[in-house]
A and B are shown apart, each in its own frame.
Chain A
Amino acid sequence: MTAMRALLVILLCSAFGAALVYAILQLPPQAVDLPQQVSANIDESGVAHPVTAVLLNFRGYDTMLEVAVLLLALLGVLAGTSVEKRRRAAGERPTLPLLRGFTRLIVPLMVLVAGYLLWAGSSMPGGAFQAGAVVAGAGVLLHLARLLPAWATPNLMQRWGLAIGFLVFLAFAALPALQDGSTMLQYPLAWAGALILLIEAGLTLSLGLLLAGLFLCLSDDGMEFEK
């Protein structure tokens, strides 16, 4: 019976896989040459790196809404877990001295790397998401070394930090449109580079806090060390 079921699952999965391969092979050739369009318009984007140009300028909507989704996810976590439990988890716990020393050593370097990634994003691989993830990694490491307590409830500063990336993005997306009736997310050409850097700086801070917050709010920590 189990063998029959396993066989059926294998058959269905292979059929689905074959259908996927067939569908990919049947895809029509691209009607528009997007990479060519991006490189043709890169001078108008304000940055030199095509990926950043697409993420922050040509397809800015996607990025902005991604940040909004992450913000909503953290709000969901905050609403779904009890404050009482989070408060209990926020207490002091014993720690490993080596881990603590190593974390003290490496976290400033991680912040430096995040700053570099943010700055590098305009001309080479890098950008707000990568920088934010490194900041969040530093936060998680600090928490695991018991140098940073879990979040019971984010205070006012933390709340602003969580929201600032989205708010800055939204403000700079909407302001030019309100001023002279151009389309949303169309930066004035002379300012585009500076605006993108500013938006990315806000995004780095917010994404770092958001991603670390997912860990810091959910962490019911110290359990594996208590045994």
Chain B
Amino acid sequence: MQTATLAFDLLLSAALIWSAIRAITVADLFRAVVMFIVFGLLVALVWARLDAPDIALAEAAIGAGLTGALLLDAVGHLRAIQLVREKKEGRR
């Protein structure tokens, strides 16, 4: 049992660091946002493992959910702007 939880914790820590690095190094903004959401959900799991369910709930709902939705909206916005700009340049 002890080794199982230890293995889970190690896996969780590794995934946390990996997703954090991916979120800031990936070139594509959409992928970066998805990695950020994954990172937020993993942080929520970490809080749950640290016996802080209150913070885990808040992190999952606000950190991963709402912030993720806002960031995705911003990415959509940026893409639309880029599309309009490309259309204009193509017309010229």
Contact = CB atoms under 8 A, between A and B. Distances in A.
Nearest to B77: A220
Using C-beta atoms within 8 Å of the partner chain, give the interface range for chain B. Answer: 10 to 19
B57 interface: yes
A211 B58 CA distance: 13
Given A51-B54, A140-B69, A130 B79 contact: no
Interface string B35-70: 000000000000000000110111001100110011
A129 B61 CA distance: 9
Given A214-B70, A215-B70, A224-B79, A125 B65 contact: no
A140 B76 contact: no
Contacts of A136: 66
Contacts of A51: 54
B70 A129 contact: no
A144 B73 CA distance: 10
Contact of B77 (A126, A140, A223): A223
Interface in A135-167: 136-137, 140, 144
A120 B76 CA distance: 37
B62 A218 contact: no
Given A125-B54, A136-B66, A219 B61 contact: no
Contact of A133 (B53, B62, B70, B83): B62
Tell me if A's interface is mostly helix, strand, loop or mixed: helix
A130 B77 contact: no
B13 to A, nearest CB: 17
A223 B69 contact: no
A195 interface: no
Nearest to A224: B76
Interface in B65-91: 65-66, 69-70, 73, 76-77, 79-80, 83
A215 B83 contact: no
B57 A126 contact: yes
B39 to A, nearest CB: 18
Interface string A205-227: 00000010011001111011011
Interface in A18-53: 51
Interface of A: 51, 117, 125-127, 129-130, 133-134, 136-137, 140, 144, 211, 214-215, 218-221, 223-224, 226-227
Given A137-B65, A215-B69, A219-B73, 5 more contacts: A133-B61, A133-B65, A134-B61, A137-B66, A218-B70
Q: Which 9 A-B pairs have the closest CB atoms?
A: A133-B61, A223-B80, A125-B53, A130-B57, A224-B76, A51-B54, A125-B54, A133-B62, A140-B69
Interface of B: 53-54, 56-58, 61-62, 65-66, 69-70, 73, 76-77, 79-80, 83
